[in-house]
Structures are given as structure tokens and as C-alpha cells.
Amino acid sequence: MAVQDQKAINLVTGGTGLLGSHIAEQLVRRDRRVRALVRPNSDTRFLESLGVELATGDVTDAASLQAACAGVTRVYHAAARVGDWGPWPEFVAITIEGTRNLLGAATAAGVQRFLHISSISAYGHPNQAGLVIDESAPLGVNLHKWSYYSRAKVEAEKLVWAAHERGDVVATVIRPSWLYGPRDRATLSRLCDSIRKGKIKLIGEGNNRLNVAHAANVAEAAIAAAEAGAGAGEAFNCSNDGVLTQKQYFDMVAKAMGLPAITRRVPYGVAYNAAFAMEIFGHLTHQRKPPLVTRYAVWLMGRKTFFDCMKARRVLAWQSTIPYEEGIPQAVAEVMGKGSAAQRAPAATATV
């Protein structure tokens, strides 16, 4: 198996983004041959430092995917339109139609395994105290209006399962949670900025357990799922690295910044309604810039529902190798400009 894997080509989409770059990095560490689909203007310095083969193209350009998939054994599809704001047509073109294009190219190339990166938000946006959701739950339940990221993830995953049922590809789906780690240029930097400016507040009491995972840990799960026979036709939540409450997370980030613990609070309902009002204003005035806070962000931080990942631990023997106590300070140091050169390589937004 090891010799076969070393010769096989693993295609990673979204390789200049957070999770995609960690998947590429983890594959290289395992002496796997890696090819990354990169857009013409992407910053590929980190991938080049790994010795990754680069294939110029875009998931929205079906023709470019034919060459990218040539000779590929496994596809790790992490490219998507991310963020909790933006025009729906962009989510359709990149996340939904991009997945359709890649599935077509992978089928034509005879790819053996298609590892698709979805999201736990594809289940919907429940906020029920004590509710624990596993992979048996249905997708797309009670999604927020304008929750384009989550809606697009649902539709893309449907395409993947349909292709699997037709026998076009053998599919495996990973549903990550709120990711952090080196090369994160999205959520953690915004969180650090809010803490530094004194704007951050705990949503509710702050004792709700968060679904936060280090991107390197999720990358390890993705590779295990793609290479294991038991992963074929299965979905896996990869949604936490242990027990971490909202307050613990914020306080660990603040401590790593040399700042005091977070004590200010706002009720969940107040934060949610305020975010909804900001969204309404933003849509009515056609704002390209996201509002100060969205309902998705409030739900992400303040929800009382928890997403279980015991299936991945049981079936894949997945264990998070980077604990919060190690990963959070390192990630904050990178955001603050104190990380290594490899960690500071810019990341694109086309991943999950």
C-alpha cells in the first residue's frame, strides 16, 4: 500500500487556502505525490516550498480540470466560496458548479477516490441546548435566509453523493467545523482584531462547548478517510479537538495576545436579532462588505448544539495530534506576525 500511495497522484483543490494547504502539507509528510490546482494569480510560495506540482486552472473552468485530473488517483476537493457574506451567484459558480465540474473531470479521468470537504453548517443552524448531532442527521434543516455558504455546501454535497450512487466516483465526505491554524487569514485574524479593540463579547454565558478544530488535525482525518477502505461512501464530522467552551477559547486567544480575559457578555437573542438587522440593511443597500456581525457568526460562537465526531475517531482511529493548548498560542503568534515564514505564507479564500 505504501509503494502504491507514493506513486499515486493526489490532487488538492483549494491548496492555497487554510485546509487545502494543510492537506497538501500532510500528504507531503507522508511521501505522497501531490498536485495542487491553483488559479493563475494565486500566491503559491508555500506549496512550492513543499515541492508540490502546480496545475494552473480553476474549478469554474471545466476545461482546465481535465489536465489537472490526468493520472490522478485521489482528489481532495477543498475549494469553495467561503465566508458568511457575498452574492449568491458566486457561491453557485464556485461551490456548486465548481464541484459539478470537478466531478465530471474526475469521472472522465478514472479517479479512484473523491474526498469532498463539506461543513457541519450543512446540517443547518440548530441552537437547541443538549442537542448533539452526528452524521445520521439530515442536511439543510432550517437554514438562515441568506446563508449562502451553508446552502451551497448542501447542494455541492448532494452532487457528490449522486455521483457516488451512479458509480462515477467513490466518494468520502469530511464535514469540518470552525477551523483555525497557520495560514488562517479569515476568522482568527478577525477575532484577534476584535479582542485587541475591546469589541469582543461573550454570546450568552460563554459556557457552551465550541466546535473548533486545528486545520492540520482535520487534514489528517481527511487523508485517513481517503486512504481507508472503511471511508468509502461515508461522511465524517471532524469538528473538535477536545473540550473547549466559548469563554475558554476567547480567553486562550486573549492570553496569547497578552491581554486580559473576556468578561463582557451579550444575550444570544440580542446578538442574533442585531445581526439580522445588520444583514437586512446590508442587503437592502447592496453592501459588498459584510456587516459587523452576521447571524452565522453569532450561531458559530454562541450555539448550544454540539456536533459529535466520534465516528471519525472510531472508524478512522483519528486522534487530534495538536491540542488546543499548543495550537491556539501558535496560531495567534502567526496572526500577530510572530510565526515562521512557512506559517506566514498568505492563504487564498477559496477553501473551507
Q: How far apart (Å, rounded) are the C-alpha atoms in residues 347 and 352?
A: 11
Reported as a single tens digit per residue, the pLDDT across 187-200 is 898 899 999 999 99
pLDDT of residue 185: 77
Has residue 341 got a pLDDT over 80?
no
pLDDT of residue 352: 31
Average pLDDT of the chain to the nearest whole number: 92
Q: How far apart (Å, rounded) are the C-alpha atoms in residues 347 and 262?
A: 28
Kindly state whether residue 206 falls inside one of the protein's structural domains: no
C-alpha cell at 206: 460563554
3-state SS record for 204-269: CCCCCECCEEEHHHHHHHHHHHHHCHHHCCCEEEECCCCCCEHHHHHHHHHHHCCCCCCCCEECHH
What's the average model confidence in pLDDT over 319-340? 88
Reported as a single tens digit per residue, the pLDDT across 95-106 is 999 999 999 999
The parent domain of residue 12 ranges over 2-185+211-241+306-321
How would residue 74 be classed by pLDDT, with cut points 50, 70 and 90?
Answer: very high
Has residue 175 got a pLDDT over 70?
yes
pLDDT of residue 200: 93
Closest-CA residue to 133 (of 4, 352, 349, 305): 305
pLDDT of residue 338: 57
Greater confidence (20 vs 288) lies with: 20
pLDDT of residue 350: 33
Has residue 304 got a pLDDT over 70?
yes
What's the average model confidence in pLDDT over 160-171? 98
CA angle 273, 292, 131 (to 5 degrees): 50
What's the average model confidence in pLDDT over 137-153? 92
Considering the chain, what percentage of its residues have pLDDT values greater than 90?
87
What's the average model confidence in pLDDT over 222-231? 96
3-state SS record for 138-157: CCCECCCCCCHHHHHHHHHH
Q: How far apart (Å, rounded) are the C-alpha atoms in residues 344 and 300?
A: 26
How would residue 337 be classed by pLDDT, with cut points 50, 70 and 90?
Answer: confident
Kindly state whether residue 275 falls inside one of the protein's structural domains: no
Q: How far apart (Å, rounded) are the C-alpha atoms in residues 208 and 126?
A: 14
Kindly state whether residue 70 falls inside one of the protein's structural domains: yes
Q: How far apart (Å, rounded) are the C-alpha atoms in residues 118 and 153?
A: 6
Q: Which residue has the cell 446552502?
A: 151
Has residue 275 got a pLDDT over 70?
yes
Question: Which class for 94: exposed (0-12), middle (13-18), buried (19 or more C-beta within 10 A)?
Answer: buried
For residue 237, list its beta bridge partners. Answer: 175
Kindly state whether residue 294 falls inside one of the protein's structural domains: no
Characterize 303-339 residue by residue with b for buried, 16 or more Cβ atoms within 10 angstroms of its Cβ, and e for exposed. Answer: bbbbbbbebbeeebebebebebeebbebbbbbbeeeb
Has residue 342 got a pLDDT over 90?
no
Q: Are strands 132-133 and 171-176 parallel, antiparallel or unpaired?
A: unpaired
φ, ψ for residue 104 (rounded to 5)?
-65, -45
Number of neighbouring beta carbons within 10 Å of residue 190: 14
Greater confidence (155 vs 190) lies with: 155
Kindly state whether residue 52 falls inside one of the protein's structural domains: yes
φ, ψ for residue 59 (rounded to 5)?
-65, -20
C-alpha cell at 352: 473551507
Residue 46 is part of a domain; what is its CATH number? 3.40.50.720
Has residue 127 got a pLDDT over 70?
yes
Kindly state whether residue 89 falls inside one of the protein's structural domains: yes
Reported as a single tens digit per residue, the pLDDT across 42-56 is 999 999 999 999 999
Has residue 273 got a pLDDT over 90?
yes
Q: How far apart (Å, rounded) are the C-alpha atoms in residues 74 and 172?
A: 11
CA angle 233, 10, 67 (to 5 degrees): 105
Q: How far apart (Å, rounded) are the C-alpha atoms in residues 310 and 166?
A: 29
Greater confidence (74 vs 341) lies with: 74
Q: How far apart (Å, rounded) are the C-alpha atoms in residues 193 and 200?
A: 9
How many domains does the chain fold into?
A: 1
pLDDT of residue 349: 32
Kindly state whether residue 116 falls inside one of the protein's structural domains: yes
Q: How far apart (Å, rounded) are the C-alpha atoms in residues 165 and 158?
A: 11
Has residue 310 got a pLDDT over 70?
yes
Strand extents, DSSP E, 43-201: 53-56, 72-77, 113-117, 132-133, 171-176, 178-180
Kindly state whether residue 290 falls inside one of the protein's structural domains: no
Contact in structure between 152 and 86 (CB atoms under 8 Å) = no
How would residue 7 be classed by pLDDT, with cut points 50, 70 and 90?
Answer: confident
Kind and range of the H or E run holding 63: helix 62-69
